[in-house]
Amino acid sequence: MSDLPDSELAFAGIVGQAELIRSGQLSARELTENTLRRIERLNPSLNAFTRILADEAMNEAARRDQHQADGTALGPLHGVPIAIKDENDVAGTPTTYGGAAVTRIAKADSEVVRRLRDAGAVVIGKTTMPEFGIWPFTETAAHGYTRNPWDTGISTGGSSGGSAAAVASGMVAGAIGGDGGGSIRLPAAFCGLFGLKPQRGRVSTAPNRNLWRGLGTLGPLTRSVYDSALMYDAILGTTAVDDYRAEPLPLSFTEALSSTHSPLRIAVSTRSPVRGVSPAPEVVAGVHAVAEILSALGHHVEEFDPEYPDATASFLPQVLGGVRDEALRVDRPDLLERRTRALSSIGRIASSGRVGKAAYRRGERIAHTVNQVFDTFDVVLTPTTPALPRAIGQLEGAGLVSAARKSLPIAAYCSIWNVCGNPAAAVPAGFSASGLPLSVQLVSRPNGELTILALAQQLEERIGWPNFRPPHA
């Protein structure tokens, strides 16, 4: 067993944990045992997991150790415990989508989980999410509130809130999330993590043909940029099942971080893509502080607002149709939350082929307009969310209309890029006066993940956010 203290081992990151195992200083079994102890200690107060796969994880870790002892080639994630958002199939467990309406056991892993296992990861458990990922707050009737490690009275955001809480607290070094309107980036912003939404079609959603009619994609939340790149390299690619396929990239995500990069043209914009939404002063100050860092790094930084058409007529039909698709998969529809049942009912109209195709075509026209900014700039720097992290209990007692009014402004800077399909990342940007994480968003042209990763790594080296640890960890 490594002589590292528990906290140092927990925050060693994917790269550090994998190296400890590869070098023989630590076994996969020992790391998994340590991870389960942390989960046992922290999860009761944070509520990040819906299901902890203790026995399965220990058996998987033992197999990893045997492979290493046998001299078998080791994957890049060999022996590292990883958490999975509960919208992804893990064989032998129900895929609950955050609620109580699914009791059916998944017979096989989803494609993302399969690829993680092929890379050597140990699947440690499944994480909380609002039912079907609808809301930017991880609160459900089935599982209660998920709490933020920086302040347990504060929300983790959503919908990948359990994954964010698990990573931010050091229960795991990496976790899979999903993003249909900001659901990787918003929890990353609330919890002080790095979270990249990849280009549409970059990561398989199989066995599902798509996620929210093309709005959504899957990806990890991590503390460091390199950890995220390492996880992405393990899961990149699609299958014959997938509706969307991104253009191939010239480098792997990790290779992009060691390549030489020229100065970039960066547009700074704090204007909201959604009318009537204004960013808080501390949020604006965080964006400007990051802009100054980028300028000092030699990039050309200029204030410029992209043209943002109203995306409502594209975004909402795809969301409603996606919720309808997922609601039809449950085996106990009587246990769906009241708000979910209402959205699913509305989604009957949006689930028709004619309406869905019209929404997607409108999204393509919006993307053409918005992406004109990349004729001049390489990256757009914006807030990730207009507000500081909100208190828990945002959905308590709220009907559909009230919940929507609270939720839609939170995703104002994120959802437009789901409509367009562009890669976009939440990047930690320090802390508010009250000690809560601040975040900025980096967006690039279609298939521009490598540009975002390289730029985010430069910011990480200056800001040093992987060194920051929350009090509830």
> Are 253 and 233 a contacting pair, CB within 8 Å?
yes
Of 191, 296, 261, the C-alpha closest to 457 is 261
Amino acid at 95: T
In which residue are the tokens 């509520």 written? 47
Mutual angle of helices 338-350 and 312-327, in 10-degree steps? 110
- Classify residue 171 by burial, with Cβ atoms within 10 Å: 0-12, 13-18, 19+: buried
The residues that bridge with 303 in the sheet, in sequence order, are 268
Count CA within 13 A, CB hemisphere, residue 79. 29
Residue 20, SS3 per DSSP: helix
* Helices (H), ranges, 119-224: 161-168, 185-191
List, by residue number, the catalytic residues.
85, 159, 183
DSSP classification of residue 72: P
CA 125 – CA 47 distance, rounded (Å)? 12
> Are 133 and 158 a contacting pair, CB within 8 Å?
yes
* Helices (H), ranges, 179-310: 185-191, 225-235, 253-257, 281-296
Of 411, 418, 419, 410, the C-alpha closest to 390 is 410
- Classify residue 297 by burial, with Cβ atoms within 10 Å: 0-12, 13-18, 19+: middle
In which residue are the tokens 């106990």 written? 332
Of 113, 89, 133, 99, the C-alpha closest to 318 is 133
Length of the chain: 473
> Are 81 and 174 a contacting pair, CB within 8 Å?
no
In which residue are the tokens 């980036």 written? 185
* DSSP count for the chain of H helices, then E strands: 16, 15
Pairing of strands 122-127, 81-85: parallel
CA 188 – CA 203 distance, rounded (Å)? 19
